[in-house]
């Protein structure tokens, strides 16, 4: 499961390129999680559009207003998918390998069957071309009538 910053839509473990050196993550009072710099940029853009005396700090996700911008930095531990136990990954890979081998066997059988059918059609075609009815006589007969 990937948790994303709903401002930049990047995973919290992979910030956007312009934030690569800044990986701090924060949580608002309402419980929504963002990159610290994304939230600061968003609030700055909101503050530039509002009256100084009526400032509130809305959550970018749920829009709940706060009088003060209280956020808390959090320190989640992200698990790298490659750090799964090797036994679990080996079992999954062996199962996938079996599925692919079974599919390959089916496709190979279909290929052999198709090649055989193609050869049979070629042999029939080499023995003599299919006879077509000569319609020119019918045409001459109809024309003379």
Asked whether residue 38 falls in the same domain as residue 66, the answer is yes
- For residues 113 and 97, membership in a common domain is answered with yes
Q: Are strands 25-28 and 57-58 parallel, antiparallel or unpaired?
A: unpaired
Percent of the chain with pLDDT over 90: 13
Q: What is the DSSP string of 1-65?
A: ---B-TTT--BTTS--GGGTT---EEEETTS-EEEHHHHHHHHHHHHTTS-GGG--EE-TTT--E
Q: What does pTM read for this prediction?
A: 0.49
22 and 68 share one domain: yes
pLDDT tens digits, one per residue of 35-84: 888 888 888 888 887 776 666 788 899 988 887 778 888 888 766 655 55
Does residue 5 sit within a domain?
A: no
Residues 70, 115, single domain; the answer is no
Q: Which domain holds residue 120?
A: 82-128
């Amino acid at each position: 499961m990937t948790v994303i910053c709903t401002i930049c839509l990047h995973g919290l473990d992979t910030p956007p390129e312009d934030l690569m050196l800044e990986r701090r993550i924060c949580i608002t009072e309402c419980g929504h999680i963002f990159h610290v710099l994304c939230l600061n940029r968003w609030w700055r853009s909101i503050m530039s559009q509002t009256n100084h005396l009526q400032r509130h700090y809305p959550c970018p996700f749920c829009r709940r207003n706060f009088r003060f911008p209280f956020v808390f930095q959090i320190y989640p531990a992200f698990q790298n998918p490659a750090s799964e136990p090797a036994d679990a990954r080996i079992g999954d890979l062996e199962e996938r390998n079996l599925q692919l081998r079974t599919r390959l066997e089916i496709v190979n059988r279909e290929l052999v069957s198709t090649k055989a059918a193609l050869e049979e059609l070629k042999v029939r075609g080499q023995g003599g071309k299919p006879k077509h009815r000569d319609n020119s006589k019918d045409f001459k007969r109809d024309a003379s009538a």
